[in-house]
Amino acid sequence: MTAALSIRDLQKTYDNGFQALKGISFEVQPGDFFALLGPNGAGKSTTIGILCSLVRKTGGSVSIFGIDIDKDFPKAKQQLGVVPQEFNFSQFEKVFDIVCTQGGFYGMPRKLAEERTEKYLRKLGLWDKRSTQARMLSGGMKRRLMIARALIHEPRLLILDEPTAGVDIELRRSMWEFLQEINAQGTTIILTTHYLEEAESLCRNIAIIDKGDIVENTSIKSLIKTLSREVFILDTREALRDAPDFGDFEGRLLDEHSLEITVEKGQSLSDLFALLTPQGISVTSMRNRANRLEELFVSLLAENKQQKSDDAGEGQEAQS
Amino acid sequence: MSPQLIWTAFSTIFRREVRRFTRIWPQTLVPPVITMSLYFVIFGSLIGSRIGEMGGYSYMEFVVPGLIMMAVITNSYGNVVSSFYSAKFQRSVEELLVSPTPNWVVMAGYVLGGVARGLIVGFIVTLIALVFTSLSIQHIGLTVLIVFLTSVLFSLAGFINAIFANSFDDISIIPTFVLTPLTYLGGVFYSIELLSPFWQGLSKLNPVLYMVNAFRYGVLGVSDINVGWAFAGVLVFIALLSAWALHLMSHGKRLRH
């Protein structure tokens, strides 16, 4: 099956000599919901910039649904919709005009562009604002406007660069539902985000990029499996004066209704409950102390940093 | 892209450009009308009546074609340079850059948008001129053609200025320090026959002189220069500026990283 996106040895060195991408490779399969994660300056936006032609690559190859961007970029662009990180529409144009005009840039007849504009503005809750100048919209509405604009030509691959940055929780949830809906309808989605909970909730596969290199590329499930320990917060029905017996588990009493317990690889939650129940402790709810993916993300970046400093040390030794 | 898709993309850009300058008509259409009306009143009517004839015509008749051309030149240039630079500044130009629209279609859309404003302003100024004097156009086809080509040429120049511009200062430097002197010294207000041979020779290096005189020839039937050279010069400059603009776009000059 032809990959929705195939990136091979992609490199970018800016004019000032900064090497933003050092030869990254990964693939995204059709229908996937894919997360591209990395700290600030890792190379995520450079990668997206290359895909949509705002940044020129200095090496490697990119194919979108089998169309090599070096051979037929206009055709490849027809398959692609991009929601950038920063607002990039005319602040003085009306919402309807911004979306409808974008359809024209993709060669859509005016009538079709108007129909699609109405469809996506309604879906994203912006129809009532169609005659409003873009500058009058709230931050969340502006983000939704950019999503509507990116969907006007119904691309097969949608790339969203931190679409929920600065968006309140309620709106973020509704955007997640919308993205899941269009993904279920067949649109391949690539998402960059700083909210790791978002990536874990929405995405099936993931690539983590750091300092221009891919440090991990796998499924979210596989990545979560590599966690050696997880820390849970348990809320109890009864008030606890003293910490109960935790057996082989590492735990502590946080307050009279909460326990913090670490579950190591090989231990099970069933064993934990079997230990607590005879002590008269009923657990009413439980949650991860920190986002699981966040823990992995931090540890992967730390490993990458350590690896790089080891390599640099070896290099210096070799020179001396 | 197929011809149909190219036409759709072009007409979309053109329509957006027209929508932009008609939306802000108090900034785009009214000021040149007021300025030119003042020129007509002061230079044409008040001072012009004391000047007498110029090139065999009353001063008002002589100055009207030059002022119409001046309005067309400044508005064509100003429309494209401000619109395209604003799109760069707000990053809305990325809407076009990420789309499959070819560079030449983007250029053509913006340039024809500038031409539309230039011609609309030129038409309004012509109507105002009719309040002060009568105009019997001698060569209608030639008049329309030269005003159109001049508008295309200065729209292209505005487009290139906008590509290079990094700030709003950069889009006012060329109009202030290059375009205005060339226009004022381009035979709008006087015939170069009034000048000494040295200054006549120097004036003939000014491309605006050829366009103004070609237009004046179309309207009045008189010109200081060979009209054929004027057309040839304008066409050559259009070809050169188009090639330059497309070269800059294909290399992503100040548009892509």
Tell me if A299 is assigned to some domain: no
Residue B127 in this model has a pLDDT that exceeds 60: yes
Write down the pLDDT at residue A119. 95
CB contact under 8 A, B19 and A78: no
Name the pLDDT band for A293 (thresholds 50, 70, 90). low
**Pairing assessment for the beta strands B53-54 and B57-58 based on DSSP bridges:** antiparallel
The Cα B91–Cα A81 span in angstroms is 17
**Residue A189 in domain:** yes
pLDDT band per the 50, 70, 90 thresholds, residue A294? low
Q: Provide, rounded to the nearest whole percent, the portion of chain A with pLDDT above 70.
A: 92
How close B23 comes to chain A (CA, Å)?
A: 10
List beta partners, residue A260: A233, A252
The model's pLDDT over B197-252, given as tens digits with 9 standing for 90+, comes to 888 888 888 889 889 889 989 988 888 788 898 899 899 999 999 999 999 998 87
| pLDDT score at B106 | 96
Average pLDDT over residues A167-190: 89
Residue-wise pLDDT tens digits, A14-56: 989 999 999 999 999 999 999 998 888 889 989 999 999 999 9
| CB atoms closer than 10 angstroms to residue B57 | 19
Is residue A318 in a domain? Answer: no
The reply to whether A319 falls in a domain is no
What are φ and ψ of residue A271, in 5° steps?
Answer: -60, -40
Domain boundaries, chain B: 3-250
Q: What share of chain B in percent tops pLDDT 90?
A: 54
ipTM of the modeled complex = 0.85
Residue in A195, A157, A172, A170 with CA at minimum distance from that of residue A81? A157
Could you give the number of structural domains in chain A?
2
Co-location of A24 and A50 in the same domain: yes
Tell me the two tokens of residue A23: 């030869």
Residues of A in contact with B16 (CB under 8 A): 97, 101
Residue labelled with tokens 């309807």: A96
Looking at the structure, tell me whether residues A233 and A211 fall in a common domain: no
Report how far residue B20's alpha carbon sits from residue B129's, in angstroms, rounded to the nearest whole number: 26
Q: At what angle do helices B59-89 and B140-164 cross, to 10 degrees?
A: 30
Do A211 and A239 fall into the same domain? Answer: no
Which pLDDT does position B199 carry in this prediction?
87
List residues of chain A with CB under 8 Å from any CB of chain B. Answer: 14, 49, 52-56, 73-75, 77-78, 80, 82, 84, 86-92, 97, 101-110, 149
One domain, residues A182 and A74:
yes
Q: Which residue of A has its CA nearest to B94?
A: A88
H-helix or E-strand containing B91?
none
Token pair of B40 as six digits: 């007509």
Q: How far is CA A221 from CA A205, A218, A227, A293, B32, in A?
A: 8, 8, 10, 10, 66
**What pLDDT score was predicted for residue B192?**
83
Partners of A8 in the β-ladder? A61
Mean pLDDT rounded to a whole number for chain B: 90
A19 and A158, same domain (yes or no): yes
SS (H, E, C) chain A: CCCCEEEEEEEEECCCCCEEEEEEEEEECCCCEEEEECCCCCCHHHHHHHHCCCCCCCEEEEEECCEECCCCHHHHHHCEEEECCCCCCCCCCEHHHHHHHHHHHCCCCHHHHHHHHHHHHHHCCCHHHCCCEHHHCCHHHHHHHHHHHHHCCCCCEEEEECCCCCCCHHHHHHHHHHHHHHHHCCCEEEEECCCHHHHHHHCCEEEEEECCEEEEEEEHHHHHHCCCEEEEEEEECCCCCCCCCCCCCEEEEEECCEEEEEEECCCCHHHHHHHHHHHCCCEEEEEECCCHHHHHHHHHHHHHHHHHHHHHHHHHHHHC
Which tops the pLDDT comparison, B10 or A216?
A: B10
Task: Encode burial over A11-46: b for 16+ CB neighbours within 10 A, e otherwise.
Answer: bbeeeeeeebbbebebbbeebbbbbbbbeeebbbbb
Of A172, A203, A224, at which residue does a domain stop?
Answer: A224
Locus of tokens 């409003």: A132
What distance in Å separates the CA atoms of residue A129 and residue B225, rounded to the nearest whole number?
A: 57
Residue B138 DSSP class:
S
Is residue A318 very low, low, confident or very high in pLDDT (cuts 50, 70, 90)? very low
Instruction: State the Cα–Cα distance between residues B142 and A51, nearest whole angstrom.
Output: 48
Cβ-in-10-Å burial (0-12, 13-18, 19+) of A286 comes to middle
Question: Considering CB atoms only, which of A74, A101, A109 is closest to B100?
Answer: A74
Same domain, A76 and A112: yes
- Classify residue A247 as left (phi > 0), alpha (psi -120 to 50) or beta: left
**Structure tokens belonging to residue A173:** 């949830």
DSSP B41: I
Q: Is A133 found in the same domain as A272?
A: no
User: Same domain, yes or no, for A65 and A123?
Assistant: yes
CB contact under 8 A, B99 and A77: yes
Judge whether A171 lies within some domain: yes
Quote the distance between the C-alpha of residue A132 and its chain's center. 30
Tell me the one-letter amino acid at A134: A
Is A320 inside any structural domain?
no
| Full domain range(s) for residue A239 | 227-288
Report the CATH number that the domain containing residue A259 is assigned in CATH. Answer: 3.30.70
DSSP state of B2: -
Give chain A positions within 8 Å (CB) of B95. 88-89, 101-102, 105, 149
Residue A319 pLDDT > 50, yes or no?
no
Confidence of residue A127 (pLDDT cuts 50, 70, 90): very high
Q: If you search the block for the tokens 């760069």, which residue do you land on?
A: B88
Mean pLDDT of the B152-159 span? 96
Q: Which residue out of B92, B97, B249, B255 would a mutagenesis test of the A interface target, given it has the greatest number of A Cβ atoms within 10 Å?
A: B92
Q: Which residues contact B50 (CB under 8 A, 6 or more apart)?
A: none
Q: What CATH number does residue A182 fall under?
A: 3.40.50.300
Q: Give backbone dihedrals phi and psi of A278, rounded to 5 degrees, phi first.
A: -65, -20
Q: Where are the alpha helices (DSSP H) in B24-139?
A: 25-28, 30-39, 48-51, 59-89, 93-97, 103-132
Min Cα separation A249/chain B (Å):
54
Nearest residue on chain A to B251, alpha-carbon basis: A56
Contact yes or no for B234/A38 (Cβ under 8 A): no
Kindly tell me if the per-residue pLDDT of A101 is higher than 50.
yes
Is residue A143 one of the residues assigned to a domain?
Answer: yes
Strand-pairing partners, residue B171, are none
- The verdict on A238 and A220 lying in the same domain is no
Q: Do A71 and A141 have their domain in common?
A: yes
One domain, residues A29 and A73: yes
